[in-house]
Amino acid sequence: MMPRRPAYTEPMKWCAIFLFLMASSLPIHAQVPPGFPAPVNLWPHGAPGAAGHGQADIPRLYPFLPKNRSTSTAVLIIPGGGYQVVAIGYEGFQIAHWLNAQGVPAFVLDYRVTPYQYPAEIQDGERAMRLIRAHAAEYGIDPTRLGVWGFSAGGHLASTIGTHCDADPAPVPNPDAVDKLSCHPAFMVLAYPVIGMTPPVTHMGSRENLLGANPNPQLEHNLSNQYQVTDQTPPAFLFATSFDPVVPVQNSLDFYQALLAHHVPAEAHFYDYSNHGCGLAGSIQPLSTWPLLLRNWLVQLGWIPPDAPPPPPPAPNIPMWIPGLKGPGEPPPAAR
């Protein structure tokens, strides 16, 4: 839900932590600041429904591959931004660093946002899952151990992948071999997510950016993911604040209750606090424990081993967008 004011804006302090990260062997021609992995184009021959050939029309994936692995598990990270921008800094690259420090490979998605609408955003998310699986051997990961982690509107996209992917995927014209792979995640992490698309639960900005001002009621219901949970929905971890001023906590409550009703393993943590868009909350002491709860859940379910390296200590959020980076989620200068 944007714009969100970043809590930390000193580039020299955050840029250095990424200098060790590996670049992908499948780069596209795009401007990338030094020290960051080169992006991978989701559709080398053009994304479905692309309106042009500019940076805003090319969804991409940033592979963050740790030098020392603790697991064959990997995670697709989907930053939020109200389907208006992509908060790729503190909800993307900083999350990848948190996972990499524990030996977990991570992939950060920069997806199409407004003026693009459904199904473009969903297509990008599903394609990212499939593309990672298609290159699992190259990335040194187990394609059956690929999870998804979404924030805010990125949580809606992540939960859509988790509930729709194989049963009701977003249509892709002229599918290729990658599109024939499953995009079903092994697990979901949903941080202060948008789940429903119907008022009053929904975040109206996300709803309008994804579906338009007057969406089709059936599509609106279909993309309210609390109604799409089945016994096959993957396990989920949810985090939110009880008094979230932007996305009502009822989104998380509804999804959690649906998971329980279908006997899907789920864990939820609701903090007695008012916040939205905190990322790892390194500068918000009352919320700063939530990443440790997530780490414990990942260990308990076997996604990372108990002896994996510890997560990095809490740190301030890096900026919402990385200076010098180009991509479809880039906010206008006034919103950074």
The burial of 243, by beta-carbon neighbours within 10 Å (0-12 exposed, 13-18 middle, 19 or more buried), is given as middle
> How many Å is the Cα radius of gyration of the chain?
18
The domain that holds 119 is classified in CATH as 3.40.50.1820
The two tokens of residue 31 are: 């401007």
Name the pLDDT band for 168 (thresholds 50, 70, 90).
Answer: confident
Q: Which amino acid is at 41?
A: N
pTM of the predicted model, to two decimals?
Answer: 0.91
Classify residue 112: in a domain, yes or no: yes
CA separation, residue 139 to residues 6, 131, 135, 318 (Å): 32, 11, 6, 26
pLDDT at res. 103: 98
For a pLDDT cut of 70, what percent of the chain falls above it? 89
Residue 179's alpha-carbon distances to 26, 60, 151, 154, in angstroms, are 18, 16, 25, 21
pLDDT at 26 over 60: no
319 in a structural domain: yes
Domain count, the chain: 1
Q: Residue 150: inside a domain, yes or no? A: yes
- Cα 52 to Cα 122: distance, rounded to the nearest angstrom: 19
- Domain-located, residue 262: yes
Q: Which domain holds residue 270?
A: 11-335
Q: Is residue 330 part of a domain?
A: yes
pLDDT at 88 over 70: yes
Say what the pLDDT of residue 167 is. Answer: 83
Q: Could you tell me the two tokens for 183? A: 């995009």
Helix (H, G, I), strand (E, B) or coil at 160: helix
Inter-CA distances, 55 with 45, 50, 60, 171, 201, Å: 14, 11, 10, 23, 33
The answer to which of 12-16, 48-52, 124-128, 198-202 has the lowest mean pLDDT is 12-16
Grade residue 18 by pLDDT with cuts at 50, 70 and 90: very low
pLDDT for res 120: 98
Task: Assess if residue 3 is contained within a domain.
Answer: no
Q: For residue 134, give both structure tokens.
A: 């298609």
Q: Cite the beta strand spans of the chain per DSSP E.
A: 40-41, 60-64, 74-78, 106-110, 146-151, 188-191, 236-241, 266-271
Contact 301, 265 (CB under 8 A): yes
**Tokens 């059936």 map to which residue?**
218
Residue 42 contacts residue 61 (beta carbons within 8 Å) = yes
Provide the CA 175 distance to its chain's centre, in angstroms: 23
Phi, psi of 64 (to 5 degrees): -105, 105
Whether 200 shows a pLDDT value over 70: the answer reads: yes
Residue 76 maps to a domain: yes
Q: Give the pLDDT score at 269.
A: 98
Query: How does residue 17 score in pLDDT terms, banded at 50, 70 and 90?
Result: very low
**pLDDT at res. 16:** 38
How does pLDDT run across 45-83, given as a tens digit for each residue?
999 999 999 999 999 999 999 999 999 999 999 999 999
Residue 226 has pLDDT above 90, yes or no: yes
Residue 155 CB-density burial (10 A; 0-12 exposed, 13-18 middle, 19+ buried): buried
The residues, any chain, with a CB within 8 Å of residue 311's CB and separated by 6 or more, are 98, 101, 102, 291, 292, 295
Condensed to tens digits (0 to 9), the pLDDT of residues 234-270 reads 999 999 999 999 999 999 999 999 999 999 999 999 9
pLDDT band for position 36 (cuts 50, 70, 90): confident
DSSP 284-327: -GGGTTHHHHHHHHHHHTTSS-TTSPPPPPP-PPPPSS-TT--S
Q: What is the pLDDT of residue 336?
A: 63
Kindly state whether residue 4 falls inside one of the protein's structural domains: no
Cβ(186)–Cβ(234) under 8 Å? yes
Is 90 exceeded by the pLDDT of residue 196?
A: yes
